Amino acid sequence: MTLSELLKDVNIKKIDGGGSMKISGIACDSRKVKPGNVFVCITGYETDGHKYAKSAVENGAVAVVAEHDLPTVDVPCVIVDNTRKAMSEMAATFYDYPYKKFKLIGITGTNGKTTTTYLIKSILEHLGKKVGLIGTNQNMIGDMIMETSRTTPDSLELMQLFDMIASHNVDYVVMEVSSHALALDRVTACTFDVGAFTNITQDHLDFHKTMEEYLAAKSILFNICNTGVVNKDDARSEYLIENARCRNMITYGINQDCDLKASNIILNEDGVKFDINYGGMEEHVDLPIPGEFSVYNALTAIGCCMAENIPLDLAVDGLHSAKGVKGRIEIVRTPGTNYTVIIDYAHTPDGLLNVINAIRGFAKGRIVTLFGCGGDRDASKRPIMGKIAGELSDFCIVTSDNPRTEDPEKIIKQVVEGVKQTDCDYEVITNRFSAIEYALDHAKKNDIILLAGKGHETYQVLGKDTIKFDEREIVQKLLGCYDK
């Protein structure tokens, strides 16, 4: 591929020759540049890729894409307004638009993305489709698992991943689409067959600064999809619907007039049961995942299937074969005990509210909530989460989550401010391992111990270091029943 061919979808402000030169690939990390690559200068949060253009050339880059002139670089320089957007467009071109080789479904929202993608995958596989999945927990092709480090890869990694998945002749790819990915042009070159919105609650305000900016980022998905599927019960859904540029829109909910509606909802410890109506057709759903939020996740999944013209009865049949997701109301094996340990990823105010309320629906004893808040992230949600945990739990253990480079004691102090606004008794134990040990040592009959915040994660980030920290293994080792 020539440089001119690679740039055919990019809005170029200026280019200094080199259009006919052959290009071997694209890189945005100067250390990973190979001979014949184009190096894209990305301005990040900790450093600026423009500083490494000369190093990239020394490593073999034959052209550079930048947002301003680079006098010290002696290869063709392509100037664009936005290098992130340009990289997305270039990557799509280089890998021959791999997302066009399968049906692409994207899910955005604060909570519910992961579970919803698995529900959709379950439905489609029940219908005999081969499905790829890209998400927070892991990336998958059918039953083959590939580890992942973030919800949505950068645009270059994403197109490489799409290309690899397409080589396996999948019918669908279902992916979580984070607000960061939308705001940072990681998916800007994609066209989604279906884009879905689960909900929006406070999160990521360290990045987006305001809820308005956060919502605006989410809304981008509905400008690059053919059919939108939107939770009409969410108060901010009207903004998405009014500003969407997609051709079609399907709405769902429990409380509002919408296209796809759930009614006669029964919640219990084994899951949820409800009736679902779409266009006059009605089916009964029996989903083995507890909590009212599971009703919404199921509605999102079925809405996406309706967008793909899958009959309602077949979509519901596929849903019945769905299983729980790792780190989402996941019950840990604790033989010989008279209490229950549940792990959940809840790390936002709404997520914590939802999971404790779900547990409250079947708890026979106390709810003991062990949780913390991540460092280097939105600090304003910390007292809010503390208050929610205190109001809904019988006992709280405030500990560390991923403190990263922040002082764990400072984070905990902010969380405790919220707990103190309630009548809930609590204990502060900064070390998370010790906190879990305390929770198990003091558990009473019929207690439910909720380990919130880590979910599927098997690590903890302390300072700049990432250490192994799998709460399933920790619980079982403390109980002497770890069998690996």
The answer to whether 111 is a known ligand-binding residue is yes
The answer to whether 110 is a known ligand-binding residue is yes
The phi, psi pair for 217, rounded to 5°, reads -65, -45
The answer to whether 113 is a known ligand-binding residue is yes
Q: How far apart are CA 400 and CA 375, in angstroms?
A: 9
Phi-psi label, residue 271: left if phi above 0, alpha if psi -120 to 50, beta otherwise: left
Amino acid, single-letter form, for residue 204:
H
> How many CB atoms lie under 10 A from the CB of residue 446?
12
HSE of 93 in the Cβ direction (CA atoms, 13 Å)? 20
The answer to whether 167 is a known ligand-binding residue is no
- Which letter does DSSP use for residue 368 in this model? E
The answer to whether 186 is a known ligand-binding residue is yes
DSSP element (H, E) containing 355: helix 349-360
Q: How far apart are CA 158 and CA 264, in angstroms?
A: 41
Output the six-digit token pair for 298: 């199921």
Output the six-digit token pair for 466: 């990432």
Measured in whole angstroms, the distance separating CA 474 from the mean position of its chain's CA atoms is 25
The answer to whether 321 is a known ligand-binding residue is no
The answer to whether 114 is a known ligand-binding residue is yes
The answer to whether 313 is a known ligand-binding residue is no
Q: How far is CA 367 from CA 355, 395, 449, 477, in A?
A: 11, 7, 6, 22
DSSP element (H, E) containing 448: strand 448-452
First to last CA, the chain: 50
The answer to whether 17 is a known ligand-binding residue is no
Q: What share of the chain is helix, strand, coil (3-state, %, to 5)?
A: 35, 25, 40
HSE of 388 in the Cβ direction (CA atoms, 13 Å)? 22
Q: How far apart are CA 141 and CA 130, in angstroms?
A: 8
The answer to whether 255 is a known ligand-binding residue is no
Output the six-digit token pair for 431: 């070390």
The answer to whether 135 is a known ligand-binding residue is no
The answer to whether 115 is a known ligand-binding residue is yes
Q: How far is CA 437 from CA 135, 399, 442, 472, 477, in A?
A: 31, 12, 9, 12, 10
Measured in whole angstroms, the distance separating CA 39 from the mean position of its chain's CA atoms is 28
Q: What is the DSSP string of 453-471?
A: S-TT--EEEETTEEEE--H
The answer to whether 330 is a known ligand-binding residue is no
In 74-224, the DSSP E strands lie at 77-80, 103-108, 131-134, 139-141, 144-146, 172-176, 192-197
The answer to whether 457 is a known ligand-binding residue is yes
Q: How far apart are CA 267 and CA 260, in angstroms?
A: 19
Q: How far apart are CA 129 and CA 69, in angstroms?
A: 49
Output the six-digit token pair for 357: 């309320």
The answer to whether 401 is a known ligand-binding residue is yes
Binding residues for meso-2,6-diaminopimelate, as ranges, are: 377, 401-404, 453, 457
Annotated binding site for ATP: 109-115
Binding-site residues: 30, 109-115, 151-152, 178, 186, 377, 401-404, 453, 457
